[in-house]
Amino acid sequence: MLTSSFKTHIVTDLFVLISDEDREGFRSVTNDAQAVIAYIHHNIADLRVRRVYYQDSMGNIDELKHRGGVSAGFAPCSDSKRQYLQSLIEPNSES
C-alpha cells in the first residue's frame, strides 16, 4: 500500500523521474521505496527496462534501484546526471 506522496515529472522508454511532495502525514519516498516502486510498476510504467530517479525532500536526486519492479535499494547519481535530471524538473516546478 502506497503511503507516500510524489509527483511524476517524466516517463521515457529509459527512466521515470519523480519527486517527493513532502506532504505532512505521508511517508517520504525514501522511507516508502518498496511501495513507490511497486506503484510505479503497476500504475505508471513497466519497470522491466526503466530506471527510477527521484528527488527527495531535501532536493537531492538519486536512483531508486529495483529488479523488475521490486525495490532493491538506492544508488547515487553522478553530478552530471543530477544536473540533467534537475533540468527536467525545474521547467515543471510551477505546474
* Spans of all domains in the chain: 6-92
- Candidate from 1-5, 19-23, 42-46, 53-57 with smallest mean pLDDT: 1-5
- Model pTM? 0.91
Cell (9 digits) for 67: 529488479
- Please tell me the distance from the alpha carbon of residue 6 to that of residue 16, in angstroms, as a whole number: 12
- pLDDT, one tens digit per residue, over 16-40 is 999 999 999 999 999 999 999 999 9
